[in-house]
Amino acid sequence: MSLDDLPARGSQAVAQPETAVRRVDRPSPLRDKVTRAEELRLQLADEIVRGVLPPGSGLDETDIARRFSVSRTPVREALRQLVASGLVEARAHRGAVVAQPSLDRLTEMFEAMAELEALCAGLAAERMPPGDRQKLEAIHEELRVLSHAGNPERFHAVNERFHNAIYAGSQNGYIAEMALATRVRVQPFRRAQFRNLGRLAKSHAEHDRVVVAIMRGDKAGAAAAMRAHIELVRGEYEIYAVSV
């Protein structure tokens, strides 16, 4: 069954008022479904981001329901949420599949990410507290060790901490949220590059210029270094995409 055949959200039963829920002293069935759907959404999104479910993979409702021992109702809702986030596409005759945007669309996404991350880095150079700067340096050193060890999976995980630390250092929650949301969208495509072990050392060297600028409080320098880093990441991905 395709997503087009599914009932619209508006056709679901309306949840009881909170006071009624208290009187019967039991959770609303609708609330339970939403909770399960959210758990499924997070699990599937994590697998997409980690590359367990690569772009183009089909997401069959029945298979997912069987795998997680749930009914198809929360699976449908989880897939709707993933479609809304852009990680999943609803295709005619195929149902839900992991999104596989065109190269032009990916270029646009990387361009947006470059500007958002540059903005975060520049603000972090001005606003990041001293203690958080020390933590950023520690993460950067951990990445240096991993780049020499040639452990792409571990490098990827710590790399996320590195970028998240800079988002937090911007001291602007709204911009940080936008940067993270964009990063999640391109993550399945960025992750593939780390299979090229030479990319680990390059990434660390690019990070180094960002860290140095942040430590100096150089707003323009930090923004320029981060923008250059993301643009190089985009270029590396385009080369990778052509080669596979």
pLDDT, average across residues 86-92: 89
Q: What is the pTM for the complete model shown?
A: 0.70
Q: Which CATH class is domain 3-98?
A: mainly alpha
Predicted confidence (pLDDT) at residue 165 exceeds the cutoff of 90: yes
pLDDT at residue number 15: 43
Q: Which CATH superfamily is domain 103-243 in?
A: GntR ligand-binding domain-like (1.20.120.530)
For a pLDDT cut of 70, what percent of the chain falls above it?
Answer: 80
Residue ranges of the chain that CATH labels 1.10.10.10: 3-98
pLDDT at residue number 193: 65
Query: What is the full DSSP assignment across the chain?
Result: --GGGSPPGGGSPPPPPHHHHHHHTS--HHHHHHHHHHHHHHHHHHHHHTTSS-TT-EE-HHHHHHHHT--HHHHHHHHHHHHHHTSEEEETTTEEEE----HHHHHHHHHHHHHHHHHHHHHHHHH--HHHHHHHHHHHHHHHHHHHHT-HHHHHHHHHHHHHHHHHHTT-HHHHHHHHHHHHHHHHHHHGGGGSHHHHHHHHHHHHHHHHHHHHT-HHHHHHHHHHHHHHHHHHHHHHHHH-
pLDDT at residue number 190: 73
pLDDT grade for 137, boundaries at 50, 70 and 90: very high
- In terms of pLDDT, which residue wins out, 31 or 74? 74
pLDDT grade for 191, boundaries at 50, 70 and 90: low
Residue ranges of the chain that CATH labels 1.20.120.530: 103-243
